[in-house]
Structure 1
Amino acid sequence: MRVVRLTHWKAFVEETERLNGWAFRGEISANWPLMTSLARRLLAYCPDRSLWPLREMRALRIFRRKAHNYLRDEHPLRDDLRSLSLMQHHGAPTRLLDFSKSPYVAAFFALEQASSDAAVYALNTPRLWSTAPQSTPHLTRDVIDPRIDGHFERYFWPNVNPVIWFGEPAEMDRRLVAQSGLFVVPGRIDLPLEQLLDSYDPHTELLTKYVLPIEMRHEALAALYRMNVTYASLFPDLEGLARASGYELEMVWDRLIEDYQHRPAGEDAAPR
């Protein structure tokens, strides 16, 4: 994995503009490995890795048995990837890693709540489209496609195949569309993504890590705000609008500050 430490926002824009067709993921800490929420949960509370497949399938089975009570249309529950997508969307730990086709969306998620150096990972999906692990050259992206009935159970659930699949569910929800999102699905959750990629072509750059120093945060988020990359646009619902208020606390235009400072004596109303 190539690591690039940047010093200003313009450098990030220049670097990522060259990566046509790649996928991007933001992490609020540059020290975090690329691991799924499911792996982090199991590593913390379920040390016996031999039982991880059993635990994962049990969680998926229970979700499917009960989620229909909250859905107008329950046919997504018949699809493995869409079921996992629903779980991920509503906060469950899954083996899905959220990526975006937009480096700016990834940068927003990396920096918005960062308190130290953050990172954006760039995944060479054009190259991964047609390649496979050297130990299992027959397990190409098309062969292991988890959207096909039975493939998740065959290629991913056993947690033994060093494969990576990426793509979208057959039907995408509004958030996934708004975020230009896609999922990366690892065949092994006990290994970070960068280690899984070591089993692929060692002569091709498949993953790049861009370290974004915390000093870049204000400049980057101001630029992203002007691009309308905010919680309100990325989560097109009331939750997104409410979460966007956090950054509105930081963004106060100079005119508003001047008006507030020169308000008539005794006027306590906040600027609007």
Structure 2
Amino acid sequence: MNSILPVFRRSIRESWRGLIGWSLGIAAVLFLYLPLYPLFGSGGQLQDILKAMPKQLVDTVGYDQIATGAGYAQSTFYGLLGFLLVTIAAVLWSSAAIAGAEESGRLELDLAHGIGRMQYATESAAAVLLRLLWLGALSGIIVWALNGPAELGIHPPHIIGAVLALTGLAFLSAAAGLFAGALTGRKAWATGIAAGIAVLGYVFQAVAKQSKDLEWLNTLSPYYWVYHQAPLQDGVAVGGLLLTWGIAVALAAASALALSRRDLRG
């Protein structure tokens, strides 16, 4: 293979249909939920609904700020459904990128055609990141477009922070999956590690809300790092955002190093 960025280009070319499907899913959720806000928010109905729910449940699912437009968009999409969808995509893409390619035999074939191991891992990570950035950007564009019609009252620059937070969380899971795949060559391990990062991060911050004695769990939760300050309402927490992206980039780099030093099928 002599073309520029062969692994990256092929990955994008072969995944565009799936990317369209994920994009439609993101759009469907946003167009379904966000326009409903004026039906509930203006009459205080959301407040009444929240009062009828157990406080522990409200805190756990992040609905404590749902009565505002920014809080509603954050809670329903960026903190829950959007987080779920983009994370699933990240897990699937990252587990297939290196471990899946090795199990199918494609990795060894590509390496036999002159592609370096570090190059393979780096381009695979870049392809996953580009697709995640697209999903994040798409969500931001739709939120911006619905901001006025749905009466959300979001300060537009805050949308950028919310997009970076969501994408950073997803890429952290993806980078962990890439690293596990490069380290073990097993898709099951890559999938489990990538999903585990996201699940544990969400669970830790949810459990920490139940008791002050458990608040230390927040230090282990990437979800808390980027969302303890609601991005759409108060602006993203820059420190948590940089920490999340920094670890993700480090794991992506580590995946290239791990693949370069491991005997394939060894």
Determine which structure has more spread, i.e. the larger CA radius of gyration: 1
Alignment TM-score > 0.5, same fold: no
Higher helix share: 2
Higher strand share: 1
TM-score w.r.t. length of structure 1: 0.30
Q: Which structure exhibits the higher relative contact order, with contacts defined as CA atoms closer than 8 Å and separated by 6 or more residues?
A: 1
TM-score w.r.t. length of structure 2: 0.30
